[in-house]
């Protein structure tokens, strides 16, 4: 039947068109039992032997878009909630203590394959990396640029020498440094300090992906100083034609989020269609 033949009033016709632009909530049930999270259904389960969380929208937007959070699930959730309201899924796959290492990237590769095939999520997620989450977000992007729609990083770690190493201006954290050595299978400090697989070492390659990038950082961050982490990556991005938005919070240390997240929300919606 042609749309013009439907006996609808204008208001009902508008509602029909809106609903027609959305898909059903889920093509396949998620594992585990649903629990409530900020008004949405949350599922906690194991995915390739790592903890995973998926929060589902009331109705999935066309194309089943999703935001893939790398660290601190539930911290400063304004963006995640706004995107859920817009029909995005929210996904978390726990690789926090793998520090963006090759095994972390391999695990994300496995998760991506399952999420995009078995659960039919979009082939190009939004990546969200806070603090150490910047390591996996950038390192995964280097290997999978065609599988990313855009990136949001917030006070991101971009060099293990800076954090947890503390070999620059940052404080560092020796117990975490030792865990990082194990995650990367480094034999000693010297091997770690010579590692050239940090996001900072790959700034030009990252920028050449020409993916949209939104950066939030504080200029008083003494845990993950922006000068030895994200700013060299920003400078590399500026040399390309890629969309870039940078928010530097004056006098702010290692804290995340924006008082007004609307510009970030708009940026992601615009670049993840």
CA dist 170 and 143 (Å) reads: 28
CA distances to 73, 136, 272 from 179, rounded to whole Å, are 21, 16, 35
Question: What rounded mean pLDDT belongs to the chain?
Answer: 90
CA dist 242 and 182 (Å) reads: 36
Write down the domain spans for the chain.
Answer: 21-271
Closest CA to 92 of 133, 147, 60, 62: 133
Mean pLDDT along residues 29-36: 91
φ/ψ bin of 78: left (φ > 0), alpha (ψ from -120 to 50), beta (otherwise): alpha
Read off the pLDDT band of 26 (50, 70, 90).
Answer: low
At 46 the three-state DSSP class reads strand
Q: What global pTM score does this model have?
A: 0.89
- Whether the pLDDT of residue 6 is over 50: the answer is no
Residue positions counted in the chain: 273
pLDDT at 15: 38
What topology does CATH give the domain 21-271? Rossmann fold (3.40.50)
**Largest pairwise CA distance in the chain:** 74
CA distances to 3, 61, 75, 97, 129 from 72, rounded to whole Å, are 46, 25, 6, 12, 9
Which two tokens mark 70?
A: 């790398």
pLDDT at 225: 98
pLDDT digits (tens, 9 = 90+) for 90-117: 999 999 899 999 999 999 999 999 999 9
Read off the pLDDT band of 20 (50, 70, 90).
Answer: very low
Closest CA to 183 of 217, 136, 143: 136
pLDDT digits (tens, 9 = 90+) for 154-202: 999 999 999 999 999 999 999 999 999 999 999 999 999 999 999 999 9
Q: Which is more confident, 212 or 1?
A: 212
| Distant-in-sequence contacts of 27-30, Cβ < 8 A, 24+ apart | 27/119, 27/120, 28/118, 28/119, 28/120, 30/54, 30/56, 30/119
CA dist 257 and 59 (Å) reads: 26
Mean pLDDT along residues 48-63: 95
């Amino acid at each position: 039947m042609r749309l013009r033949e439907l006996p609808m009033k204008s208001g009902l016709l508008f509602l029909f068109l809106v609903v027609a632009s959305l898909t059903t909530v889920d093509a396949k049930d998620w594992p585990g039992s649903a629990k409530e999270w900020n008004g949405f259904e949350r599922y906690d389960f194991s995915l390739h032997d790592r903890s995973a969380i998926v929060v589902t929208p009331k109705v999935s937007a066309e194309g089943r878009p999703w935001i893939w959070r790398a660290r601190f699930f539930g911290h400063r959730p304004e963006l995640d909630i706004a995107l859920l309201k817009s029909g995005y899924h929210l996904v978390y796959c726990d690789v926090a203590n793998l520090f963006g290492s090759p095994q972390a990237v391999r695990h994300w590769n496995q998760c991506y394959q399952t999420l995009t095939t078995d659960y039919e999520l979009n082939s190009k997620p939004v990546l969200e990396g806070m603090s150490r989450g910047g390591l996996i977000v950038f390192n995964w992007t280097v290997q999978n640029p065609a599988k990313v729609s855009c990136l949001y990083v917030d006070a991101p770690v971009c060099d293990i020498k800076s954090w947890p190493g503390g070999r620059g201006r940052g404080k560092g954290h020796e117990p975490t440094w030792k865990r990082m050595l194990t995650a990367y299978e480094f034999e000693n400090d010297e091997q770690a300090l010579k590692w050239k697989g940090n996001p900072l070492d790959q700034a030009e390659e990252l920028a050449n992906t020409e993916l949209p990038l939104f950066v939030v950082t504080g200029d008083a961050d003494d845990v993950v100083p922006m000068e030895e982490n994200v700013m060299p990556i920003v400078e590399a991005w500026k040399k390309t034609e890629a969309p870039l938005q940078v928010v530097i919070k004056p006098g702010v240390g290692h804290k995340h989020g924006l008082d007004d997240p609307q510009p970030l929300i708009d940026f992601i919606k615009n670049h993840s269609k």
